[in-house]
Amino acid sequence: MRLATLRAEVARYAKKMSASGLVRATQGNLSARDPESGLICVTPSGADYDLLSAEDIVVVDAEGAVVEGQWKPSLETPLHTLLLGRRADIHCVMHTHSLYASAFAVLYQPVPMILAESAACLGGPVPTMPYQESGTLEFAERAAEALGQGHALLWGNHGAMVVGPSLALTYSIAHALEDTARIYAIAAQLGMPTELPPDEVARLHAWWKASYGQRVN
Ligand SMILES: [Zn+2]
């Protein structure tokens, strides 16, 4: 089996996404690129996360053509391949439906930077792109445009997407986004939350980027 280790890791993190509430049932998707071959390991379409194993993860090339795998790759594969093709600094793309981030996506309200560690990896307020049917190349183009050089993006009336240099860091960014949205929602019921100053967010993000360097695992 090609890329057995990376496929096992994608299956493991897909299960973690489900177990930690980032997605439910068969929602969401996850990919990771092998930096050496450039091949991409992506979750299969309509996967039951509880049953996923390394063999279920589909290997596609940079254009999304299946190289090895027994299932169809995620319907969002055009998005994964396009983002990975355009960003040399990322190797993973994760799409979630986490509840509080999705609430912000329904409100079209940016997720503000209120927590130091979350701000370090998110790098700035997380914007929402306009609603559009996902799964198409056109959607992938719009998402890439809206994401820019950022690490997180909300999809209007849909959910969230995060990108990162490794599976572990991407998973951590997804939780940083969800925790920020959740804590903001709680804090806003108690009073007026205080946002971190933009220059402090920039400083924290620069530190975060320097701390992982070129590490990809
Ligand atoms: Zn979705």
**Mean pLDDT computed over 49-55:** 93
Whole-Å CA distances, 159 to 8, 29, 60, 142, 213: 25, 12, 24, 15, 29
| Identity at 46, one-letter amino acid code | G
The string of DSSP letters for 181-197 reads HHHHHHHHHHS-PPPPP
Per-residue pLDDT of 178-206, as tens digits, reads 999 999 999 999 999 999 999 999 999 99
Percentage with pLDDT > 90 across the chain: 93
Beta-carbon neighbours within 5 Å of ion ligand 1: 159
Residue 77's Cα: distance from chain center in Å?
13
Going by the DSSP 8-state scheme, the letter that residue 91 receives in this structure is: -
The residue length of the chain stands at 217
pTM above 0.75, yes or no: yes
Judged by DSSP in three states, 161 sits in strand
Write down the catalytic residue from 55, 63, 68, 76: 76
Banded model confidence at residue 212, pLDDT cuts 50, 70, 90: confident
Is 145 assigned a catalytic role?
Answer: no
Mean pLDDT, the chain, rounded, equals 95
Rounded CA separation 65/73 (Å): 9
The string of DSSP letters for 51-87 reads G--GGGSEEE-TT--EEE-SS-B-TTHHHHHHHHHH-
**Structure token pair of residue 33:** 């690129």
**Mean pLDDT computed over 155-169:** 97
Instruction: Determine the Cα angle at 49 with ends 43 and 50, to 5°.
Output: 145
How far, in Å, is the centroid of ligand 1 from the Cα of 60? Answer: 20
Whole-Å CA distances, 153 to 145, 146, 217: 10, 7, 23
The string of DSSP letters for 93-113 reads EEEE--HHHHHHHHHT--B--
The domain segmentation of the chain, as residue ranges, is 4-212
How far, in Å, is the centroid of ligand 1 from the Cα of 14? Answer: 14
Phi first, then psi, for residue 150 (nearest 5°) are: -75, 180
How far, in Å, is the centroid of ligand 1 from the Cα of 213? Answer: 30
**Structure token pair of residue 84:** 């990975």
Per-residue pLDDT of 54-82, as tens digits, reads 999 999 999 999 999 999 999 999 999 99
Q: Give the CATH fold of the 4-212 domain.
A: L-fuculose-1-phosphate Aldolase (3.40.225)
The string of DSSP letters for 24-55 reads -TT--EEEEE-TTT--EEEPBTT--GGG--GG
How far, in Å, is the centroid of ligand 1 from the Cα of 67? Answer: 24
Q: Is the pLDDT of residue 33 over 90?
A: yes
With both helix axes pointing from N to C terminus, report the angle between 167-190 and 4-19 in degrees, rounded to the nearest 10: 10
Q: Is the pLDDT of residue 217 over 90?
A: no
